[in-house]
């Protein structure tokens, strides 16, 4: 097993642009966590955010199609807000949206013709077409719907074959999450270990992101995967000190059930179907 000092070095290499970080196991007081430094992401090409969709930059690069339902909680300390997202988008990667000669998004395809008698539904309720936005501009179509996310229930997307093939995909809703540490709005010292505490059964993943307090945009820098969900994990001080020197961070706790692959016939590309519970704690590191 590699030592934490090796992890700190990997983190520093990643912050400097290393594109091939590796996983390291960290053991503290009987707890074991896979810690993965994340390569620097091009956030200008990142349409979804981990804190609201549980979609990572890696997912963005792998999947041109998404079927998402997410219940996300945003804990700023003085403000606690929960939102539910239901979204379907299939993009055409041959039609990029260019910004400064770089692709930062792709055209959102219509699934149903406007005059079609068929519809895309989520748990029997029709999803509505809305503009697919890239950098705030309409660039094709995506679909949104109203959902009631009950943990343990099944979320199903269905549509008859029209512009693309038939859709019939189901994913189970994971348990809800609550987090007691780090508490939203708290100040986390870098000179001592940080104990994370949460409620929510299942395969937990925790992302640590540096956040621009002015724009609100975040960039994920670290992924923590507890090998067993015991409701707590410890981040050693050496890891905290190796994080970027930003002061504003968000700890994003994710429980997600997902299916991926060629889920839709006649659509050229893999699709990620995901139901996720997300809890975000916004903190300062000093």
Q: Which domain holds residue 211?
A: 4-285
> Per the structure, how many domains does the chain have?
1
Question: Is residue 4 very low, low, confident or very high in pLDDT (cuts 50, 70, 90)?
Answer: very low
Average pLDDT of 73-80? Answer: 94
3-state secondary structure of 59: helix
Helix, strand or coil for residue 91? strand
Nearest to 155 by CA among 178, 174, 129, 130: 174
Question: Nearest Cα to 50, choosing from 212, 206, 214?
Answer: 206
Q: Which residues pair with 70 in a beta bridge?
A: 85, 276
More reliable by pLDDT, 94 or 219: 94
Please say if the pLDDT value at position 89 is more than 80.
yes
Q: Which of 233, 234, 235, 249 is nearest to 286 (CA)?
A: 249
The whole-angstrom separation of Cα 13 and Cα 5 is: 13
Please give the structure tokens belonging to residue 246: 């930003």
DSSP state of 49: -
- Confidence grade of residue 176 (pLDDT, cut at 50, 70, 90): very high
- Residue 195, Cβ neighbours under 10 Å: how many? 15
Q: For residues 24 and 260, which has the higher predicted lDDT (pLDDT)?
A: 260
pLDDT given for residue 46 in this prediction: 53
Given a cut of 70, is residue 21 above it in pLDDT? no
Task: Render pLDDT for 201-210 as a digit per residue (tens, 0 to 9).
Answer: 999 999 999 9
Alpha-carbon 118 to chain mean position: 31
Give residue 34's pLDDT.
85
| Residue partners of 158: CB distance under 8 A and separation at least 6 | 120, 121, 167, 168
**Tens digits of per-residue pLDDT, 209-266?**
998 878 878 889 999 999 899 999 999 898 899 898 889 999 999 999 999 999 998 8
Confidence of residue 117 (pLDDT cuts 50, 70, 90): confident
The percentage of residues in the chain with a pLDDT greater than 90, rounded to a whole number, is 61
């Amino acid at each position: 097993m590699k030592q934490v000092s090796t992890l700190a070095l990997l983190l520093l290499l990643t912050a400097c642009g290393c594109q091939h970080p590796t996983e390291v196991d960290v053991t503290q007081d009987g707890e074991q966590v896979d810690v993965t430094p994340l390569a620097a992401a091009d956030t200008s090409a990142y349409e979804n955010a981990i804190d609201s969709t549980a979609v990572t930059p890696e997912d963005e690069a792998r999947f041109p199609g998404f079927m998402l339902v997410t219940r996300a909680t945003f804990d700023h300390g003085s403000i606690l807000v929960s939102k539910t997202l239901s979204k379907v988008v299939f993009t055409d990667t041959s039609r990029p949206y260019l910004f400064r000669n770089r692709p930062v998004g792709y055209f959102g395809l219509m699934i149903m013709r406007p005059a079609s008698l068929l519809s895309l539904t989520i748990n029997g309720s029709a999803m509505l077409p809305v503009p697919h936005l890239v950098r705030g501009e309409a660039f094709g179509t995506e679909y949104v719907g109203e959902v009631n996310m009950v943990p343990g229930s099944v979320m199903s997307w269905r549509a008859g074959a029209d512009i693309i093939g038939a859709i019939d995909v189901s994913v189970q809703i994971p348990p809800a999450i609550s987090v007691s540490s780090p508490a939203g709005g708290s100040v986390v010292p870098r000179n001592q270990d940080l104990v994370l505490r949460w409620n929510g059964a299942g395969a937990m993943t925790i992302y640590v992101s540096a956040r621009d307090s002015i724009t609100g945009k975040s960039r994920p820098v670290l992924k923590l995967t507890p090998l067993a969900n015991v409701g707590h994990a410890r981040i050693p001080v050496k890891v905290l000190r190796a994080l970027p020197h930003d002061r504003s961070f968000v700890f994003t706790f994710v429980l997600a059930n997902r299916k991926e692959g060629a889920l839709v016939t006649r659509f050229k590309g893999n699709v990620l179907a995901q139901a996720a519970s997300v809890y975000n704690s916004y903190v300062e590191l000093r």
